[in-house]
Amino acid sequence: MFSNLKDQPADKILMLMASYKEDARSDKLDLGVGVYKDAQGNTPVMRAVKAAEKRIWEEQTTKSYVALAGDSAFADAMRDLVLGDSVSADRVAAIATPGGTGAFRQGVDLIRTANPDATVWISAPTWPNHVSILKTVGQAFKEYRYFDTTTGEVDFDGMMADLDGIKEGDVVLLHGCCHNPTGANLSGEQWSGVAQLLRQKKALPFVDIAYQGFGDGLDEDAAGTRILAETQPEMLIGASCSKNFGVYRDRVGLLMAVGDSANKKTTQGNLNHLNRQNYSFPPDHGARVVTTILTDPDLRADWQAELEDMRTGMLVLRQQLADELRQRLNDDRFDFIARHRGMFSRLGVDEAKVEAMRKDHGVYMVSDSRMNIAGLNAQTVPILADAIAKTCR
């Protein structure tokens, strides 16, 4: 039977991780996979996570199953973190999932159950795994324009023109903040414009929010999602704790379906059913760590302080890189790097230049020229600026 199998297309981010590992050069620079690194190049366990894990280890008396939806305290704490008071709790059904990817996958499965005729609209570009998952499940999708490679900013006119083509019941996937892979984000006014259009078209927004707290701050990064929650009759939200809690391998995510409170019981039942069919009970440990942090004022304050240090550190690196490039090129072409938010910026150069930077300078960025700003530190920014200046002049 297995001889019938064909090779699957490689994931370009994971492939890059592997080739970086194999490169023997000591001055190589890993700007590939979206994992936060400190100035020493480590991805530390956050202080509050360590403290919460210790507390759980001391106090937990059973590892028995929790619930198909996961712990309701986790859903409550995450709903509050993402949605604040933009929507009442009786309108939100939710399931814990293995990471934000699990939330996205379950969300797509829910769409397919509720409306098999829907088309999912995705930004061009988007996180490659969005595309891959949609293809894997056979979900119809179309792209809307999003990024203008010449300005490094959102092509908002193009986006709105393309979204004008959506039909009732279609789904529009939006990145809540810190757009991956571009780093270019909608302004508050633009979010309101999108909200108005989606409402008018009777389309369903699906927000993937994986970097809350990495852009302009925890509440600021959720502002667009909250505008939608306030204005749309229904929406889906997939949230990830991988990055903002640094619990990548523990797989912590939540899928929320916002709708009419009269439908909540049935929606919740469908979400529970999806969990049961795909993996039964969702993982609990990381979710419990996150809940412990969010519900304890001291741990929460410490987590927020550490997250804020990570966020502001990335902003400093962005500014330094933009400044160094302006000096070297005597041109403001790459100033958008300082205006972008989150872990990524897309340089907007072609694959041959990305390849040349890898070969000649040991700089590893994704082939679409996405670089992970958190892979830099004050000493390596000039090295990258040299590589970009020499290759992309």
Which listed residue (121, 127, 191, 303) is catalytic? 127
Could you give the 3-state DSSP secondary structure of residue 23? coil
Which listed residue (48, 51, 94, 210) is catalytic? 210
What residue is closest to ligand LMR based on CB?
A: 34
The amino acid sitting at 367 is S
Does the active-site annotation cover 210? yes
* Dist CA 100 CA 15 (whole Å): 20
* Dist CA 258 CA 235 (whole Å): 5
Identify the H or E element spanning 123: strand 120-124
CA dist 214 → 11, 137, 217, 226 (Å) = 24, 30, 7, 17
Which listed residue (208, 250, 284, 368) is catalytic? 208
Shortest spacing between CB 43 and ligand LMR, in angstroms: 12
Does the active-site annotation cover 121? no
* Dist CA 192 CA 342 (whole Å): 21
CB 34 within 8 A of CB 343: yes
Shortest spacing between CB 33 and ligand LMR, in angstroms: 4
Identify which of residues 127 and 303 has a Cβ nearer to ligand LMR in the complex.
127
* Dist CA 65 CA 125 (whole Å): 39
CB 310 within 8 A of CB 303: no
* Dist CA 210 CA 100 (whole Å): 7
What 8-state DSSP symbol labels residue 169? Answer: T
Shortest spacing between CB 10 and ligand LMR, in angstroms: 13
Identify which of residues 106 and 180 has a Cβ nearer to ligand LMR in the complex.
180
Shortest spacing between CB 99 and ligand LMR, in angstroms: 8
Shortest spacing between CB 34 and ligand LMR, in angstroms: 3
Identify which of residues 215 and 259 has a Cβ nearer to ligand LMR in the complex.
215
Which listed residue (48, 184, 243, 284) is catalytic? 243
Identify which of residues 180 and 275 has a Cβ nearer to ligand LMR in the complex.
180
Shortest spacing between CB 207 and ligand LMR, in angstroms: 16
Q: Which residues are CB-contacts of 324 (< 8 A; sequence separation ≥ 6)?
A: 381, 382, 385
* Dist CA 261 CA 256 (whole Å): 13
Shortest spacing between CB 14 and ligand LMR, in angstroms: 7
List the beta bridge partners of residue 207. 174, 237
* Dist CA 375 CA 42 (whole Å): 9
CB atoms within 10 A of CB 9: 10
Identify which of residues 13 and 293 has a Cβ nearer to ligand LMR in the complex.
13
Identify the H or E element spanning 30: strand 29-30
Shortest spacing between CB 346 and ligand LMR, in angstroms: 12
Identify which of residues 156 and 211 has a Cβ nearer to ligand LMR in the complex.
211
* Dist CA 43 CA 39 (whole Å): 10
The angle, 0 to 180 degrees and rounded to 10, between the axes of the packed helices 99-114 and 264-278 is 120
Does the active-site annotation cover 208? yes
Burial (0-12, 13-18, 19+ Cβ within 10 Å), 10: exposed
Identify which of residues 34 and 282 has a Cβ nearer to ligand LMR in the complex.
34
Question: Which of 269, 255, 253, 205 has the alpha carbon at shortest distance from 232?
Answer: 205
CB 276 within 8 A of CB 62: no
Identify which of residues 101 and 119 has a Cβ nearer to ligand LMR in the complex.
101
Residues in contact with ligand LMR by CB under 6 A are 13, 33-34, 127, 129, 180
Active-site residues, by number, are: 127, 208, 210, 243
